[in-house]
Every structure is written in structure tokens, then in C-alpha cells.
Amino acid sequence: MSYSASPNGGLASRRAIDLQVSTPRRSANSTSRARQQELEVKLATLQRDYAELHGALIEAAQVYRRLCAPHLVRYNDFEIASETFAVRHVPGDFFTIQETTKGVVLALGDICGKGLAAGMWTTHLVGLVNSRTKAMPEPKAIASGVNRDLCHISSVAPLASLFLARLDPVTGWLDYCSAGHPPALLLRSDGQLELLGEGGPLLGVVAAAAFDQARVQLCAGDVLLICSDGILESFNEEDQEFGSQRLVTEFRGARKDSADTVLFSVLGAVQDFAAPRPLTDDMTLAVITRSNNKSERKVL
């Protein structure tokens, strides 16, 4: 028995083959579009989360600024200027000023580490300093109390250095305690330089650590400089450290017209030295000058 193929058989076969080939292609395209849509949704979510995080960091930076001292403050014939440059939005350095019945308490702190991890502890340490200052405005008592507080938080709390001083704006007497902090530099009007380094160890190491304090008098024409180690440990392209000797040289060479002038002269020297390398650690600098012109307290 024999038969003849349908004249449309060839076309029918080709359509069947085309259908078999084209169906996987449409399936692959559908999978690709679905994958692209999924990635777009994930990207939109990440962008939204980033925007929320960025907004939260900005709010945290604003809170930090409110906790710290204004850029420029005057008490009678004293002028206090300060500035902080942060590696991230919220620095691990801070400078605060608190008025008490026994004088003006100044605190420059530096939490070990940098970035957000250190910045998260800044408000806590500022709170501890403020609380201890209200209870007992003696620098060594504040340092001892804050040290115990940090040690009681056990291994969670970071180590920190702190320079504390209580200034009498009328007499110029300054009681200070340096807890593991770089010594402050006191440049007398006659050019003599004194290092203010009395105090004790880093905060948060030993709960029973003892802290001492010393006293100096700031006279007309004297300038006091306090800084965090981010100033001293700034490096240039040759991996040279700015260091204490360069700091002293720039401090001596700065114009002494005002605390603000000295502040930006020294900060400018540090930035010029380190350029174009990016900032690797938070930097805080505070300058206190005493002139012969007495005036009421002003905040700028």
C-alpha cells in the first residue's frame, strides 16, 4: 500500500518546528524582563534606604553641633574659638563649654577610632561629661567619674582621651586635667611655651585609675591651644607626620590678633601639609586667648 504526502505537509511541519523553536525564546525574554523588574525594585529600595540613612546622618550631625560649643565665645577679656573637621558625618571628637558657679568648664574629647562607630559614642560621652560637671566641676573629679562610668559599661564602651579645664574668666586661673590626651600648649606673651600634660591615663581602661590636676594663670597676651590627635597624626604624601614640632612652629608663627585667627592659621597649615591626601581622622582644635579689652559674654 502506498500514499502521497499532503501538499501542505511541508508547511505544517515547518510551522511546528518554528513553534518549537520560538517558544523557548519568548520564555527566555519573559524571564529576562522579570529579572530586570526585580533588580529595578531592589535598586529603588536601596536608593530609598540610602536616602533615609543619609537623612538620619544629617540629623545626627545637627544634634552633634547643638551639643558642642559655638564656634566663637567670649567671656570678659577671654575669647574661645573651636572647630572640628570630621571624616564622616558624625565625628568622634568634641569640644564643649559649660558655665558653672565656679567657672567655665571646657572639655575636648577624642573617642578612639573613627567614622560612624566612634561618632555613635560621642553624644554618650558628652552626656557623661555634662552630668559629672554639674555634680562636681573639678577637672580631676569629672575625669574620675567619667572613667568609672565608661569602665562600668564593660567591653562595649570605647577608650577615650579627654582634656578638661575650668577657667575663671575674672582672674584667669585655669585648673586642668589631661586624661590620656595630647598636652595642651600654653604660649606666653613673652614667647615662653608651657606644656599642660598633668592628669592621668585614657578613660575606660581601669575604673580605679587616679587623676591629678594642675593650675596655671592665663594673663593678657597668653594663648592656649588644645587639639585632638587627628591634628598631630595628619600625614602628607611622603607619609610624614605633622607632629608636635610642626604644631609648635605653626602656633608660634600664627598671628595673635584673635583666637579665631590663630585657629584658622594652624588648621590651614595642617591642611596644606596633608593635601592632597584625604582626611583620615577627625580633627578638633580649640584656642583660648586673653586680651586687655573686657566685654560682656558674647556667642557668635
The 10s digit of each residue's pLDDT in 203-222 is 999 999 999 999 999 999 99
The 10s digit of each residue's pLDDT in 127-152 is 999 999 999 999 999 999 999 999 98
Q: Cell 594673663 appears where? A: 219
Euclidean distance between CA atoms 168 and 139, whole angstroms: 13
pTM: 0.79
User: Is the per-residue pLDDT at 179 higher than 60?
Assistant: yes
DSSP state of 89: S
Q: Which pLDDT score, from 0 to 100, does residue 300 have?
A: 42
Euclidean distance between CA atoms 288 and 38, whole angstroms: 58
Domain at 69-299: CATH architecture? 4-Layer Sandwich (3.60)
Coil vs helix vs strand at 195: strand
pLDDT tier at 94, thresholds 50, 70, 90: very high
Q: Which pLDDT score, from 0 to 100, does residue 153 have?
A: 84
State phi, psi for 241 to the nearest 5 degrees. Answer: -85, 140
How is the chain split into domains, by residue range? 9-67, 69-299
The 10s digit of each residue's pLDDT in 14-57 is 554 454 545 555 677 788 888 888 888 888 787 877 676 556 55
Q: Are the C-beta atoms of residues 294 and 76 closer than 8 Å to each other? A: yes
- What element of type H or E holds 74? strand 72-75
Q: Are the C-beta atoms of residues 98 and 300 closer than 8 Å to each other? A: no
User: Is the per-residue pLDDT at 96 higher than 60?
Assistant: yes
Q: Which pLDDT score, from 0 to 100, does residue 65 have?
A: 67
Q: Which pLDDT score, from 0 to 100, does residue 29 have?
A: 79
Euclidean distance between CA atoms 178 and 241, whole angstroms: 23
Q: Which residues contact 210 (CB under 8 A, 6 or more apart)?
A: 144, 200
Burial of 94 (0-12, 13-18, 19+ CB in 10 A): buried
Euclidean distance between CA atoms 157 and 240, whole angstroms: 31
Among 92, 127, 121, 95, CA closest to 108: 95
Q: Where is pLDDT greater, at 13 or 55?
A: 55
Q: Where is pLDDT greater, at 75 or 62?
A: 75
Please state the rounded mean pLDDT for residues 181-201: 97
